[in-house]
A and B are shown apart, each in its own frame.
Chain A
Amino acid sequence: MTDPVIETQGLLKSFKGLNALNGLNLSVPAGSIFGFLGRNGAGKTTTIKLLMGFLKPNGGNACVFSLNATDAAAGVEIRRRVGLVTEDKDLYPYMTVEQIVRFTRGFFPRWRDDLDQRYLKVFDLPPKRKISDLSKGMRSKLMLLLGISHGEELLILDEPTEGLDPVAVEEMLRELVAISGAGGTTIFSSSHQLEEVEQIAEHVCIIDRGAAIVTGSLDDLKAQYRRLRIVLGEELRAPIHWADGADHVHQEGRTVEILASRNVDAILNQARSLPGASVECFPVTLKEIFLEHARRN
């Protein structure tokens, strides 16, 4: 295994005494599309700012390319090697599309002219138009174009599909898949749009109140999580002590519903051993996992 491209350990950040990050652990494998999920205000943007060295943490470590993001010199190096697409689309409004491309490329030694030319066409961006005259969707695409054309091995996107219509979202996801398929680029994308992430991400981390609550390969998570519905022969007199992994148990009369995060087979066996029990087992969507954790906190 190669080193993770992004790694944080116990990352802490507070603003005016309020904890934005509460000991975040993150590990992003090289070459993956990584979905960084969470509600608004969960700490996603703060994390990205710390990774880029725009903010200093109050504790813990943040490394990008094994460089310490809290070190000023390393921060410069990181910013040079990362294609960053941020949420705030404050580009220079008086420049034209062409001008901002030329302006930006000056900062990045590995700029790929072929990519900026390609994405001007793919995204159908008018080179001569002023940024102030672009629609919100076009601005998002322009930001993505600038991020991609760095030609770097890490692309960090903060809510890249915010404000895009469904067709533009699908186009953008397709381009991200194409970049990933071409090899050599790790894509780290924050979002609260679960369906989009679910569609293209290989690994996910769900962050809530500044800490990772679920993390892993999307396929593995889907394979581990199950919802069980058990109908018992008779009402239970005493509550059952369920096996490890039965995270959430809800009982109503003779029906027991369990959301299991792992160890499903043991829980299934346990359920079957109950007198007169009929057991059903369903797959769980990312949305259900997300809502379940959001409710619990």
Chain B
Amino acid sequence: MLFHLSPSSGVPIYLQLMEQVKHAVETGALRAGDQLPTIRKLAEDLVMNPNTVVRAYRELQHEGIIELRHGSGAYISEAVAGRTRVTRKAQAIVQSALERLMSLDLTKDEARRLFENELALLRAETNSEGGKND
């Protein structure tokens, strides 16, 4: 099985599932046109609520990562090929930023916390401006 969820972490399960589908797409484990398991199959395999799978699939569709075809299931969208290119480019930026941070003698944990913190603050800023979450 491609996906592994940790139900008792504080992160909503549908978000975990979305993250893992996105990650699989970014790494090329899932490619444009690949079919995802049906909602019932995935719910039973991962022992999770079917409605949670529905929510993850809907949000992924909304973000253009997958396409839901009536009656035949969920497929990785053709549009993600472009996203993969952008992700590769972004990866290079993150790498060089990390190298510079490491040269300041920052530990990996410190760097991770700084990143997460800045992301959380960015989110709070967008929200207080009345923007949409994420």
Contact = CB atoms under 8 A, between A and B. Distances in A.
A178 B39 CA distance: 11
Contacts of B9: 283, 285
B53 to A, nearest CB: 9
A199 B43 CA distance: 11
**Prevailing SS type, chain A contact patch:** helix
A198 B52 CA distance: 12
Given A265-B124, A283-B11, A33 B49 contact: yes
A16 B61 CA distance: 56
B49 A177 contact: yes
Contact of A219 (B14, B43, B117): B14
Contacts of A170: 47
B20 to A, nearest CB: 16
A133 interface: no
Nearest to A284: B10
Given A265-B127, A279-B117, A280-B117, A181 B50 contact: yes
B27 interface: no
Contacts of A279: 117, 120-121
Interface string B33-47: 000000110011001
B128 A219 contact: no
B130 to A, nearest CB: 11
A36 to B, nearest CB: 15
Nearest to B117: A280
Nearest to B41: A181
12 contacts: A33-B51, A173-B47, A178-B44, A180-B43, A181-B40, A181-B50, A199-B7, A202-B52, A218-B13, A265-B123, A279-B121, A280-B120
Interface of B: 7-15, 39-40, 43-44, 47-52, 55, 113, 116-117, 120-121, 123-124, 127-128
Per CB-CB distance, the 5 closest pairs between chain A and chain B, nearest first, are: A283-B10, A219-B12, A199-B7, A181-B50, A281-B120
Interface of A: 31-33, 170, 173-174, 177-178, 180-182, 194-195, 198-202, 218-219, 222-223, 225, 264-266, 268-269, 272, 278-288
